[in-house]
Chain A
Amino acid sequence: MKKSKGTILAAAISAIALGVAGAVSAAAGPDPVKARNDAMEDVGRAFKKIAAIAKKQAKFDAAVVKTNSEIVAAKLTACLTLFPPGSETGSVKSLAKPECFSDAAGLAAGLKASAAAAEGLSKVTDEAAFLPAFKAAGDSCKGCHDKYRVPKK
């Protein structure tokens, strides 16, 4: 009787300890949801700097196009590992649709295609070639978001 009480107590303590350790590791370890949200925010910020040229709100500047499309390509490539199975939810709100996990191959292909389009855009040096390359990259973003992302408020 006494022993069993002690066992229960020990089990409870270890359970609490495990729980705490689990919570600590979750907080300290990388949360793929937050990581991919941050990466996509970076993509959005960089892309908007290029979009300003297309909207004629800024002058064409090959250096701005190159720097920012390289950021877009790198961040999209980083996203390839940020949709692991089981990461439907995390410490922050996820906009990932279930299709991100049920069709992981399709998502990966989309990310790669968008990164490639951004790389193509980064190589543009003259204004005439800019708009077609920019539209190709933008269309690539658009194609995936409708399929894999829930609406943003």
Chain B
Amino acid sequence: MSIGKAAAATGGLLLAAGVVAAWILSAPSPGVTAVPEGKADLANGETLYHAGSCLACHRPADGAAMTEPALPSGGAPFKTPVGTFFPQNLTPDPETGIGRWSAADFVNAMTRGLSPAGTHYFPAFPYTSYRFVRTEDLLDLRGYLRSLPPVRSAARKADVPLLGIARRGVGLWKRLALREGGFRPDPARGPAWNRGAYLVNGPGHCAECHTPRNLLMVMQPARGFAGAKHPAGEGQVPSLRGLVARGKYKDVADLALALQNGETFGYEHLSSGGMAAIQTNLGLLPESDAGAIAEYLASLQ
């Protein structure tokens, strides 16, 4: 009897200690408080906007009132294994968009997954990739978004079980999944390959769907771009390794044409599982960037 009581008491204490530890470990880390701001290069910001296919996820819901399908006012459902999210309004509306966000707010959101209120974003918003984007590029992107016409469209609450606890729990996940370090160019490779590597791993966030994840949904770098389960359950996301070696594309130029034109030119692997919207955005990139992405991708073995 007394042994049982002692065991229960110990168990209770352990549980309480565990909860306290989880609470401490899941706390949002303080982000940056100030970012040196210059004049934004809007053309570069637009390139990054297309490279990230921001509109593909931050588009308005089909037929939503008072929205414009070409503007990223958010609201279209984004299905994931965790639940359904309704991405944020990225237009500069002060109430519902990012009009009141400081440059630091924007950088913290993109690279640390922190909201201006200091809470965690779910990694459905791929800050795991965006943390590789250079700060000056982030500021150009912010400048471009702020140059868009504001649209009033409040974000719907995510449809995730135990949303509050899950959101706090993202803090624990970040400890596993968010490693430090920006983009490091490979000096052994040329400028086009490095540009492609930057666009693919940073703004393009290709790994988010094309790299397999472990049971804790952390991407496995050793199996980078080896193909993975489709996040919304639409079969398998294809591997990006050996695209030319396996004969999927003739050469780098063929792959670049595919990225620019997709299924419109009969490249049949680029229009399922949401890839059509992404390819449409990639088609708006400068030709040199499409070529750089193709050169980097073709080198993945």
Q: Is the CB of B235 within 8 A of A51?
A: no
Q: Is the CB of B234 within 8 A of A151?
A: yes
Alpha-carbon separation in the docked complex, A55 to B260 (Å): 11
Alpha-carbon separation in the docked complex, A50 to B274 (Å): 25
Q: How far is the CB of A121 from chain B (nearest CB, A)?
A: 12
Judged by a CB distance under 8 angstroms, whether B268 is at the interface is yes
| Smallest CB gap from B230: residue in A | A151
Q: Which residues of A contact B230 (CB under 8 A)?
A: 150-151
Given the known interface contacts A55-B257, A146-B275, A146-B277, the answer about A138 and B236 at a Cβ–Cβ threshold of 8 Å is no
Judged by a CB distance under 8 angstroms, whether B26 is at the interface is no
Which B207-266 residues have a C-beta within 8 angstroms of A?
A: 227, 230, 234-238, 254, 257, 261-266
Judged by a CB distance under 8 angstroms, whether A2 is at the interface is no
Judged by a CB distance under 8 angstroms, whether A59 is at the interface is no
Give the contacting residue for B272; candidates A54, A55, A135, A149; CB below 8 A: A149
Give the contacting residue for A142; candidates B227, B236, B271; CB below 8 A: B271
Given the known interface contacts A151-B230, A151-B236, A153-B236, the answer about A138 and B272 at a Cβ–Cβ threshold of 8 Å is no
Q: Is the CB of A141 within 8 A of B263?
A: yes
Give the contacting residue for A152; candidates B238, B254, B261; CB below 8 A: B238
Alpha-carbon separation in the docked complex, A142 to B265 (Å): 9
Q: How many A-B contacts at CB < 8 Å in the complex?
A: 70
Alpha-carbon separation in the docked complex, A44 to B269 (Å): 11
Counting chain A CB atoms within 10 Å of each CB, the highest count among B234, B237, B262, B268 belongs to: B268
Give the contacting residue for B276; candidates A47, A135, A145; CB below 8 A: A145
Q: How far is the CB of A97 from chain B (nearest CB, A)?
A: 7
Q: Is the CB of A142 within 8 A of B269?
A: no
| Smallest CB gap from A46: residue in B | B266
Q: Is the CB of A153 within 8 A of B238?
A: yes
The 0/1 profile, CB within 8 Å of B marked 1, for residues 35-69 of chain A is 00000000010011011001100000000000000
Q: Is the CB of B263 within 8 A of A145?
A: yes
Alpha-carbon separation in the docked complex, A65 to B265 (Å): 14
Q: Which residues of A contact B266 (CB under 8 A)?
A: 44, 47-48, 50-51, 54, 138, 141
Q: Is the CB of A151 within 8 A of B263?
A: no
Given the known interface contacts A145-B272, A146-B276, A151-B230, the answer about A138 and B238 at a Cβ–Cβ threshold of 8 Å is no
Q: Is the CB of B257 within 8 A of A142?
A: no
The 0/1 profile, CB within 8 Å of A marked 1, for residues 185-212 of chain B is 0000000000000000000000000000
Judged by a CB distance under 8 angstroms, whether B69 is at the interface is no
Q: Can you offer 7 A-B residue contacts whose CB atoms are under 8 A?
A: A48-B266, A51-B265, A51-B266, A142-B262, A142-B264, A142-B271, A153-B227
Q: A residues touching B (Cβ–Cβ < 8 Å)?
A: 44, 47-48, 50-51, 54-55, 95, 97, 135, 138-139, 141-143, 145-146, 149-153
A-B pairs, 10 with minimum CB distance: A138-B264, A51-B266, A146-B276, A142-B263, A151-B273, A150-B235, A151-B272, A145-B271, A142-B271, A150-B234
